[in-house]
Structure 1
Amino acid sequence: MTAMYSDRALVIGAGFAGLLAARVLSESYGDVVLVERDQLATDTGYRTGVPQAHHPHALLARGAEVLDALFPRLGTELKAAGAIQADLGSDFMSRAPAGWAPRDPIGLTVHSMTRVTLERIIRRRVLKLPNVSLVDGVTIDGLLHDRGTITGVHGRRDDTAFTDYADLVVDASGRASKLVSWLAELGVHCPAPMIVNGHLAYTSRLYHVNHDLKLDWKTAYEITHAPTTKRGGAVSSVDGGLWFVTLFGADGEVAPTDEDGFISYATTLECQDIAEVIKTATPASQIYRAANLRSRWNRFHKVPDWPRGLLALGDSVVSLNPVYGHGLTLAALNCAELRELLKDHDLAQEPLVFQRAVARTAQIPWMSATTTDLGWSEKKVSPSTRFLQWYARRLFAVIPGNPQVYRSFLRVSQMVDHPAALFRPAVLWRVLSGSRPRAKER
């Protein structure tokens, strides 16, 4: 059983990471309050605090495992809300630079839904907990501090001063977090963040499903890959009757946001099913673009005078290029680590124990995202990064027609297996030798 250390925890941000943090903290604290900038009482759709919600959000297989542990039968509830269940092998049509990936079942199942649907269902579950409450419409301006300990937050709600106190404050406010500035105001200075700019862009739109199109997949996508494949795209079935279409651009390529330009860009892809959806389906949203996508790591684990009573997780610490879909899963893993550490530690008194765990968990997804993004950079990279980029190019070259290599790649990309699995003898031999059976036509 988890110990009850103290009375009150306050979570800044009631998005995905904040909701999961509140769920975990409800086991250890008598009172947990979520403080959110957006108005949620009447919110039934997209909100300004989650600009990326207009684009697809991938919950990797490893992240789904964490959610199932925190919210039993969540998969059933998601399916009832329209989430599409799909096998990552047989239900996905994937185009790598060298050709089409195998379409064999691999036993890894994911749910495909919009961020709005996922967050709404989890919020409903969390706010049913008797010791969790929500205060929305609050803009946090800073932290309350007493002799090296964070004691609460201050800000504004409806132009009225807002102050709240807690034994533990958790920053889960995401990419827009101002925690570094708040700490600097208290005389606590953080090392400069690590930033890798992938110079990628994506442009997205929702469409109503056209049932006249007889398609044999639930998700179809084509990846970009340095240094030659600068355009890509994806279309996924989501929320029952919708398709989510996204067009990717790298190294200066950007899909237009006008109707004709959006279609024209899609027709340049090898995966013509994406263009077919755009041409024949009825739009269900505007066209949205996010550009200059980057990864940032705030190295809070290296702050020796990190104050007691303060934790940070999710995108507040490590925000990865969203093209690669690590964000939700990394936040879920942070909360799984929080749950485990609270069994043996009073993290309000030992916050660096948690921040170091967050850093360890971030290492592999950070390496994966930034190694790929650095392929578009003209800056000199380390020998280890050059080797990983070289190996990735050879791996993608043998994926078509090679189910074993593709299965290993998918399990690693879904964070189910460690990247070392891609260097096991059976995979390594095929990658280094370039051994690839003749690819079947899709």
Structure 2
Amino acid sequence: MRLGKTAVVLGGSAAGLCAAGALAPHFDHVLVLERDELPAGAGHRRGVPQSKHPHFLLNSGRRAIGALFPGFEDDLIAAGGLLLMPSMDAAYLDGPGWSARKRSAMTMVYGSRILIERVLRDKVRELGNVVVREGASVRGLTTHDGEITGVAFTAAEGDEHVGTDFVVDAMGRGSPVAGWLVAAGWPEPEVRTLDAKVTYTSRWYDLPAERPASWWWRHLVIMPTPDKGDHPAEHEYLVNFFPVEGNRVIACMGSWGLEMPSTTDAFVETARRVRTPLFAAAMDRCEPASPVHLTRSTGNKWRRYDRLRTPPRRLAFVGDSICAFNPFYAQGISSASGSALLLREHLSRAGQLDAGFSARFLAAQRKLLRVPWSLAMARDQGYACAAGTEKLPEWRRRIVAALSAPAFSLVVGAAREDAVVDEHFAKVFNLDESLGQMLRNPRVLTGLLRHRVRTALGRQRVPSGFDPRAEPPSTDYSAAVTR
């Protein structure tokens, strides 16, 4: 059902493109206003600095985007995306050493952010009632009697204004919309924050034409050390050797509260001090394809528009404009596409775009965002360097810091041996289930307890802790997994 003539999306990155897909069935015309000039193919641009770092497309995001744009995943893979099973295709260094390979419930599509957005732009171009205006800088909103009625922007032709029946803010972390609403008479929304001082640095590499025989893996993951004694700072890094399209990888190192290398020489030297020599050795076999890219804007931030007594009518928010996460947890695109799909569902049931619609959508979106937000808090609240409204009292922070890593290792270890734990862990990782739901499941608790007992007795079915300084083992232990 059509709900109006014109809808406007502020921002043309992944969140805005998904929002356009959600609006297209319900409005005669959808206008996407994007400040940048968009590349014809898969290319970096100023408005998406995160594109130079690894991006996971979680299963919940794959499904949401596929519902908005049928055929998206097939098109992404046809364009070079890689459909892999991490438990079989990734060498994973966690705890004291390498994990064993086995089949699992989780698959993922690997690809760069620039490829994901290029395929999304192609899908949007197939929608006959959507127009993307490039080089358009949004300057403000016009309002009347509690609702949004128009958008002011500047383009190459000069200042313009378009009347609208609905607006979606997809302008990212730095969105100025909250300030515009305050200027128009709405109260400042409550903002929840937690910045764990995450910094990460990446460099792109071309893989060798022929992979070495020992490289059974496609993805290399090095988790921070659990060792509490003296060790190099680099052992605290979270490291990825992340495969993308075009026979390339993104070598990425990140940390909580530590300085990270920003030059190519420092990047290469730092890589030699991480927990395993495999990371630097793999880089040595590849050809550098980019300079080093460093990012520090990584804090968690949730603008609580849902708590406004009278939220603006005919306005919705998707992506980082409402809830931004520590990018380490790969939740951004999946949360944004989930919000866009939720918006489409609410529009399909809407009789009119009144205050009731705004309240219902914001309440449903709050429930959706609580899942990734709680996962981000579960880890970031344990760091002494963290700051923000969600910073814990010191005694609680110490408890979180003491329990979070062992608890995570217990779940990962149990998932290696127990298919049911593995299934629910995959759901949590992919934002299909909350951490609380998983930990309230009696069968999951039984699997965790059984794994703890077997570990204490030295009777694990699937070994772990293989020497981190040696090559990761290629043996497939799938047959040892039980239900």
**TM-score band, normalised by shorter chain:** over 0.9
Contact 2:42 2:117 in 1 (8 A): no
Aligned to 1:63: 61
One-letter amino acid of the counterpart of residue 260, structure 1: D
Aligned pair in 2 of structure 1 residues 236, 5: CA closer, same or farther (>3 Å)? same
Distance 2:454 2:172 in 1: 42
SS where residue 381 of structure 2 aligns?
Answer: helix
Aligned to 1:429: 449
SS where residue 7 of structure 2 aligns?
Answer: strand
Answer with 389-398 or 87-96: which moved more.
Answer: 389-398
The alpha carbon displacement at 1:225 in A equals 6.8
One-letter amino acid of the counterpart of residue 264, structure 1: E
Provide, for residues 160-209 of structure 1, a one-character-per-residue CA deviation record: whole Å limited to 9, x for no partner: 11211110011011112111111111011223311101111110011001
Contact 1:296 1:320 in 2 (8 A): yes
Contact 1:140 1:155 in 2 (8 A): yes
Contact 2:206 2:247 in 1 (8 A): yes
Aligned to 2:278: 273
- Where do 5+ consecutive residues of structure 1 fail to align? none
SS where residue 197 of structure 2 aligns?
Answer: strand
SS where residue 455 of structure 2 aligns?
Answer: coil
The 5 A counterparts of 1:269-418 are 269-291=274-296, 293-346=298-351, 348-349=353-354, 350-377=357-384, 380-381=392-393, 390-398=402-410, 399-400=412-413, 402-404=416-418, 405=421, 408-418=424-434
The alpha carbon displacement at 1:319 in A equals 0.3
One-letter amino acid of the counterpart of residue 353, structure 2: A
Distance 1:366 1:145 in 2: 31
Distance 1:234 1:66 in 2: 26
The alpha carbon displacement at 1:411 in A equals 3.2
Answer with 425-434 or 343-352: which moved more.
Answer: 425-434
Distance 2:86 2:191 in 1: 34
One-letter amino acid of the counterpart of residue 240, structure 1: G
Distance 1:273 1:406 in 2: 27
Aligned to 1:136: 134
Contact 2:9 2:16 in 1 (8 A): yes
Answer with 91-100 or 111-120: which moved more.
Answer: 91-100
SS where residue 286 of structure 1 aligns?
Answer: coil
The alpha carbon displacement at 1:337 in A equals 0.9
Distance 1:67 1:36 in 2: 20
One-letter amino acid of the counterpart of residue 438, structure 2: A
Distance 1:66 1:60 in 2: 10
Contact 1:221 1:271 in 2 (8 A): no
Answer with 286-295 or 374-383: which moved more.
Answer: 374-383
Distance 1:199 1:49 in 2: 22
One-letter amino acid of the counterpart of residue 47, structure 2: G
Aligned to 1:18: 16
Corresponding residue pairs, total: 439
Aligned to 1:222: 222
SS where residue 108 of structure 2 aligns?
Answer: strand
Aligned pair in 2 of structure 1 residues 217, 280: CA closer, same or farther (>3 Å)? same
Aligned pair in 2 of structure 1 residues 159, 28: CA closer, same or farther (>3 Å)? closer
Aligned pair in 2 of structure 1 residues 418, 396: CA closer, same or farther (>3 Å)? closer
Distance 1:226 1:183 in 2: 46
Aligned pair in 2 of structure 1 residues 135, 146: CA closer, same or farther (>3 Å)? same
Aligned pair in 2 of structure 1 residues 43, 74: CA closer, same or farther (>3 Å)? closer
Aligned to 2:464: 439
Answer with 48-57 or 337-346: which moved more.
Answer: 337-346
One-letter amino acid of the counterpart of residue 416, structure 1: D
SS where residue 163 of structure 1 aligns?
Answer: strand
Answer with 398-407 or 285-294: which moved more.
Answer: 398-407
The 5 A counterparts of 1:101-250 are 101-158=99-156, 160-210=158-208, 211-214=210-213, 215-224=215-224, 228=228, 230-250=236-256
Answer with 258-267 or 368-377: which moved more.
Answer: 258-267
| TM-score (normalised: structure 2) | 0.85
One-letter amino acid of the counterpart of residue 409, structure 1: F
Distance 1:121 1:343 in 2: 25
Percent identity for Structure 1 against Structure 2: 26
Provide, for residues 258-288 of structure 1, a one-character-per-residue CA deviation record: whole Å limited to 9, x for no partner: 2332122222223433212222211111110
Distance 2:221 2:38 in 1: 33
Contact 1:104 1:403 in 2 (8 A): no
SS where residue 198 of structure 1 aligns?
Answer: coil
Distance 1:237 1:256 in 2: 21
The alpha carbon displacement at 1:106 in A equals 1.0
Aligned pair in 2 of structure 1 residues 347, 116: CA closer, same or farther (>3 Å)? farther
The alpha carbon displacement at 1:440 in A equals 6.3
Contact 1:96 1:223 in 2 (8 A): yes
The alpha carbon displacement at 1:400 in A equals 4.6
Contact 1:98 1:400 in 2 (8 A): no
Contact 1:232 1:269 in 2 (8 A): no
SS where residue 95 of structure 1 aligns?
Answer: strand
Aligned-residue RMSD, C-alpha = 2.4
| TM-score (normalised: structure 1) | 0.92
Distance 1:7 1:299 in 2: 29
Distance 2:226 2:198 in 1: 11
Aligned pair in 2 of structure 1 residues 358, 94: CA closer, same or farther (>3 Å)? same
Provide, for residues 76-121 of structure 1, a one-character-per-residue CA deviation record: whole Å limited to 9, x for no partner: 2111211111012111222223333332111422111111111011
The alpha carbon displacement at 1:125 in A equals 0.9
Aligned pair in 2 of structure 1 residues 101, 311: CA closer, same or farther (>3 Å)? same
The alpha carbon displacement at 1:5 in A equals 1.6
Aligned pair in 2 of structure 1 residues 407, 41: CA closer, same or farther (>3 Å)? closer
Whether 2:76 is the aligned partner of 1:78: answer: yes
SS where residue 449 of structure 2 aligns?
Answer: helix
Aligned to 2:31: 33
Aligned pair in 2 of structure 1 residues 233, 41: CA closer, same or farther (>3 Å)? closer
Aligned pair in 2 of structure 1 residues 140, 116: CA closer, same or farther (>3 Å)? same
